[in-house]
């Protein structure tokens, strides 16, 4: 489940499929850019979220080395995965702003709320009902829809992104 995507945020955050069976083993993945990412367990976030934020902040402030695709060979006689030619790249440091870190903290809190709901009695009952046949499945979906945690929305301060223009400036195309 995604909490944010790059189209609307600096962060791409999601509940990773590599999570284990227990509540404490659930992981939130934070993709910072194509070269940097971090992941934290439910337990880490619950015990010390500020430390996790600090780790992400420090990761953003370092340059990152990674391998990117330089070229794709069009020859179809070559196996698909062997058609890629890679090159070593360096992603420059990209420090996170305080607003971006606050936004990330909100996604971390949403993840914690989702994990607690999913592993709580109502979340478990909803899962069981959704796995059954039609009448019970409908009840399960209704229960999920009505009781799951609601997502927070992060609204950036747009006031600074726009400046007022006079009617004369609009006519002149300024």
Mean pLDDT of 117-122: 87
- Structure confidence at residue 19 as a pLDDT band (50, 70, 90): confident
Strand pairing of 12-15 and 64-72? unpaired
Find out whether 70 and 87 touch, Cβ atoms under 8 Å: yes
DSSP-derived letter for residue 78 is: S
DSSP-derived letter for residue 167 is: H
Mean pLDDT of 78-105: 93
Report the C-alpha gap between 19 and 138 in whole angstroms. Answer: 27
Tokens of 121: 């009695």
- The DSSP H or E segment spanning 111 is helix 98-118
Average pLDDT over all residues of the chain: 84
Q: What predicted TM-score, i.e. pTM, was given to this entire model?
A: 0.73
Taking only the tens place, the pLDDT of each residue in 31-58 is 999 899 999 999 999 999 999 999 999 9
Q: Is the pLDDT of residue 165 over 80?
A: no
Closest by CA to 10, choosing from 84, 127, 104, is 104
Taking only the tens place, the pLDDT of each residue in 138-162 is 877 777 777 878 776 655 544 444 4
Q: Beta strands of the chain (E only): which ranges?
A: 2-4, 12-15, 27-31, 37-41, 64-72, 84-91
Report the C-alpha gap between 84 and 68 in whole angstroms. Answer: 10
Domains of the chain: which residue ranges? 2-159
Mean pLDDT of 8-22: 87
Find out whether 54 and 79 touch, Cβ atoms under 8 Å: no
């Amino acid at each position: 489940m995604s909490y944010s995507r790059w189209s609307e945020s600096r962060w791409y955050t999601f509940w990773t499929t590599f999570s284990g069976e227990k509540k404490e083993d659930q992981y939130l993945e934070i993709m910072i850019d194509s070269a940097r990412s971090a992941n934290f367990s439910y337990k880490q976030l619950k015990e010390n979220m500020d430390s996790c934020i600090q780790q992400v902040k420090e990761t953003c402030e370092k340059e990152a080395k990674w391998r990117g695709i330089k070229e794709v060979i069009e020859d179809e006689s070559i196996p698909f995965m062997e058609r890629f030619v890679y090159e070593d790249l360096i992603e420059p440091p990209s420090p996170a702003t305080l607003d971006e870190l606050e936004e990330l903290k909100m996604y971390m809190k949403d993840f914690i709320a989702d994990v607690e709901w999913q592993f709580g009695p109502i979340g478990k009952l909803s899962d069981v009902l959704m796995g059954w046949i039609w009448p019970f499945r409908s009840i399960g979906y209704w229960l999920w829809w009505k009781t799951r945690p609601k997502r927070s929305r992060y609204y950036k301060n747009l006031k600074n992104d726009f400046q007022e223009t006079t009617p004369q400036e609009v006519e002149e195309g300024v």
